[in-house]
Structure 1
Amino acid sequence: MTPAEKYQQDLTRPDFHHDTAQEYAVKQLQRLYDDFVQKLPQSQSWWQKLRTGTPQKKPLTGLYFWGGVGRGKTYLVDTFYECLPTKRKMRIHFHRFMHRVHEDLKLLKGVKNPLEQVADNFSKQTDIICFDEFFVSDITDAMILGTLMQGLFARGITLVATSNIEPDGLYRNGLQRARFLPAIGLIKQHCQIFNVDSGIDYRLRTLEQAEIYHHPLDKEAEQNLQQYFLALSVEPRQAACQIDVANRKLSALAEADGIV
């Protein structure tokens, strides 16, 4: 199923409503999906591979969706990720991505050009990275991203990202922001930028329709909370898990990308 087909299917759901900005965004996802499928490697004989060699990787032009909270951005990136007909794809919250990068850098302490090695590690796993909630507030992340993104794009990795902020507003007023500007330039060079604000806050609409209080805490209350959780969250969902709050582990019935 393609992103356009998935969107048309979702429009038949009673809890899903047409949105002009979202429909336009889906068309852009479909364009990238078609380009990606066309670029999928065809099988070659060993003789063809010997003659052609390894082609220089060039990333497809990706997408950067930005807009206010609750505009359906996560739906867009999840729809695209689910439809991609490949295992060489990655969908990750940006904060978790940077946490992984820092962990890799710890393991590569003392290695020359460690960010190049980090980029190599990602290129061995994926051809396309889907970021949700691209946001930079930490100076260490800001200093890393320019070199890292250059390495990812140089290895042919395509980027699809969502953010509450347009690229030019990222890390605004941050320390040594001039050193982060190359990262912004790379995003604008390798991604088409789209604003998805439409005036519809999907999360708020769900919460407005929900009851504020549930008493007693019986089976019916649990079922209602489960319905709200499913309406607000997207895959992947994790049941019976633990979350980190101020360096403490708290048990949760379920969690999905910030919805607990």
Structure 2
Amino acid sequence: MHRVHGELKTLKDQSDPLEIIAERIARQAQIICFDEFFVQDITDAMLLGKLFEYLFERNVVLVATSNIVPDDLYKNGLQRERFIPAIERIKENCRVINVDSGVDYRLRTLSKAEIFHSPLDQQADKNLIEYFAQLAPENKQAYDETTIDILGRDIAVRAVSDDVVFFDFSAICKTARSQNDYMEISQLYHAVLISNVEQMGRGNDDIARRFIALVDEFYERKVKLILSAAVPIEQLYTEGQLSFEFKRCVSRLQEMQSQQYLAEEHKA
């Protein structure tokens, strides 16, 4: 969707830019694969129905894995009725196969490293400071309590050194940040530390959405994420509209502590 949004900007003067984008995609690929397909952004939801229609008209094949059946995609989302055509296109053109074995494969073979610290106390903060010092390259200058530029906007950091950065949760998730910001950070930094992660729930779903987006982008690029939080991982989200999405987020956070994940190369 990042590509689609980018092309929409360049085609804003066209009468039907989505059809042009679909035509371009169809020329490049006959099969499109999505791993863990889900929708949580209202703008994406509004675009996908028509985009899928144009792609299927061009005989593009969609192959996707998802933890959500088509009928439950974007459940409880704003103006969900406008996303229903996308669901119908998927059901008309794709065969839905249940491959659930009752096992969450992200939780297998986990060997937890000491990279999640709770509760929030002096020791937890001390641990993160020590981790930053260990991860920062010895031959690079470290800068404390400064800002970095992300897509033309400054964001406060507790410390930064080359490809390692240390944020406070209030700066990275409680200010107006988009998925593009997290995508950019995930490309620039191989290790990210975040202190003072709060418990989230019904009253602060905007913050929870940002945190989910952050974890998703970091996970995809194999960023090493080190956190200090008010509560254990399983309690980071209490209840609310994002309960399902946050279960997926928790699963990823748990996998990101495994030795297998930590051994993965950063995808800059």
Tell me which interval the TM-score lies in, with the shorter structure as reference length: 0.3 to 0.5
Task: Give the number of the structure with larger relative contact order, counting CA–CA contacts within 8 Å between residues 6 or more apart.
Answer: 1
Report the TM-score, using the length of structure 2 for normalisation: 0.46
Report the TM-score, using the length of structure 1 for normalisation: 0.47
